[in-house]
Amino acid sequence: MKPNTQQSTNNNNDNNMINNNDDDNSYNESLPDSAQSTILVMYRSVGLGMYGALMRYAGMPLEKIALYMNSSQVSGENQFRQAIRLTFQDGQRQSFLAPYKVVGPASGVAWFLQYSVMGMVFQICDRALSSLLDVPVIPYGSQLMEDPANDIDNSKTDEQSSSTALKQGLKIILAPTLAGTVESIVSNRAEVQRFYGISKFSQVESSLKWNPVSRLCGPAFLANASRNCIMSSTSFVITPVLYRKYYPQEDKSKTSLFWFGLGVNIFIGNAIAITQQSLWGRALDYAVSSSTNTAAKGEAITARNINYRVVVRDSLKTEGTSAFFTVPKWAARVLMNAPVQGTLPWFYNEVLPLAEGTILSVSKNIYNNLLGSSPLLSPSRDSSVNKPLMRKVTNKAKGFCDEETKTTATSPFNR
């Protein structure tokens, strides 16, 4: 009966070896950190682009109202009413679809790129600068709900703390500045097209005869980039940092983050950005102001390069500070911008993380499938497959040796 028991044990060992063989053949490698980081950056960027494009198209009437409110085409009393009339004017009649007629394919692509590229550039700059300066990245997702009291490091000296604060301040300025500038490169030309209209914008471009780089950036680029830098700082830096550090810990939630982001956008971001939005609109009016009469007669438009000093001087001379900031201008800007830019921190930190686990899981499966099917990606595949077989042979030999040892020990010649 004893040999039968040993045979049963060997069979169990064989089954275990087969199971181990199956486990070794299943390529269940984790994604490299660099791949995970790249996948998450791409996912967040695409998500931001789709969200921004849909929201901007839906709010096109509000955008046109804000554009007219922050230009020299409305003045005096009832500016809001004037802007609404211009927004829905379609030739000699009023039409609700009039604001959407200035949206071309370039605008749809620009909206998507505007938010996706802005998000991507900010994430890349944030990570790169954090690694270069040896400082933490801007808090994201669930990190906003953490207690900042746990971040206190008493081991650092005052000199080290000052150096870290200086580096963080430098990164906080550079990251959104770069993101806002790149955002303007991909979006300003389409915004100018929506401001002038497709036909008029084409005439303006032809008249200016700019080089390819200038045509890519579009007229009034500096004012547009300045505005976008302010809004990028509001969405990706000011909102998450202030919320994590100073919002009462017991009141933190997805709902409170949503309303906090809106509040920061409305009362901080847009209160400053409205001055640059007004400068942008007045600069575009300045570019074609010399050809207003010819345009009314149906003649070709003659545009001129923008002189910001003259634009600011003439605006202050005619309307004072109200040329760049009034409550109606600010309100029109908020109506256009807050629905998408104000909810961006909430969407970025609370909605996008919901699918990140699924995205990484799918990516991991694809990675493992490629790893298992490609000998180039898995050079050690043959050796890993043969390991269970070698273990099986070794264990059998070991069992045989043990059995021989037992037999020898009980032999009468050894007594």
Range scoring the smallest mean pLDDT among 214-218, 345-349, 375-379: 375-379
Nearest in space to 116 (alpha carbons), one of 173, 175, 41, 55: 41
Query: In this model, does residue 304 exceed pLDDT 90?
Result: yes
Mean pLDDT (the chain) is 81
Neighbours of 375 (CB within 10 A): 10
Close Cβ partners of 11 (under 8 Å, ≥ 6 residues apart): none
- In angstroms, the CA 363 to CA 227 distance is 37
Report the half-sphere exposure of 24 (CA within 13 A, side-chain side): 18
**Mean pLDDT calculated for residue range 308-315:** 95
Residues 256-285 have pLDDT tens digits of 999 999 999 999 999 999 999 999 999 999
User: Is 386's pLDDT higher than 50?
Assistant: no
CA angle 275, 323, 67 (to 5 degrees): 65
Give the tokens for residue 7. 């045979």
- Residues 376-403: what's their mean pLDDT? 47
**Residue 107 confidence class, pLDDT cut points 50, 70, 90:** confident
Q: Which amino acid is at 28?
A: N
For 45-67, the pLDDT digits (tens) are: 999 999 999 999 999 999 889 88
Give the pLDDT score at 152: 66
pLDDT at 2: 45
**Would you place residue 312 in the very low, low, confident or very high pLDDT band (cuts 50, 70, 90)?**
very high
DSSP code for 301:
P
Instruction: Give DSSP secondary structure letters for 88-120.
Output: TEETTEE-TTGGGGG--HHHHHHHHHHHHHHHH
For residues 251 and 292, the model is more confident at 251
**pLDDT score, position 374:** 56
* Lowest pLDDT segment from 26-30, 139-143, 172-176, 178-182: 26-30
pLDDT at 297: 52
Per-range mean pLDDT, top range of 20-24, 91-95, 109-113, 358-362: 358-362
Contact of 139 with 244, CB cutoff 8 Å: yes
pLDDT tens for each residue of 148-189: 988 766 556 666 778 888 999 999 999 999 999 998 998 899
pLDDT reading at 90 higher than 60? yes
Helix (H, G, I), strand (E, B) or coil at 59: coil
Tokens standing for 246? 């100073």
- Predicted local distance difference test score (pLDDT) of residue 110: 82
Q: Is 305 left (phi over 0), alpha (psi -120 to 50) or beta?
A: beta
Q: Which SS3 state, helix, strand or coil, does residue 411 take?
A: coil
Between 222 and 107, the higher pLDDT residue: 222
Q: Going by C-beta distance under 8 Å and a sequence separation of 6 or more, which residues neighbour residue 389?
A: 17, 21
Q: Supply the pLDDT for residue 338.
A: 86
Rg (CA), the chain: 32
**Predicted local distance difference test score (pLDDT) of residue 108:** 85
pLDDT band at 204 (very low <50, low <70, confident <90, very high): very high
Cβ atoms of residues 107 and 192 within 8 Å: no
Please tell me what DSSP assigns to residue 291.
G
Which pLDDT score is estimated for 359?
93
Please report which confidence band the pLDDT of residue 336 belongs to, taking 50, 70 and 90 as the band edges.
confident
Residue 385: band (very low, low, confident or very high) from pLDDT cuts 50, 70, 90 = very low
Give the chain's length.
415
Helix spans in 209-326 (H): 212-217, 221-233, 239-246, 254-264, 270-288, 292-296, 308-319
Output the DSSP codes for 361-383. Answer: HHHHHHHHHHHHH-TTT-TTHHH
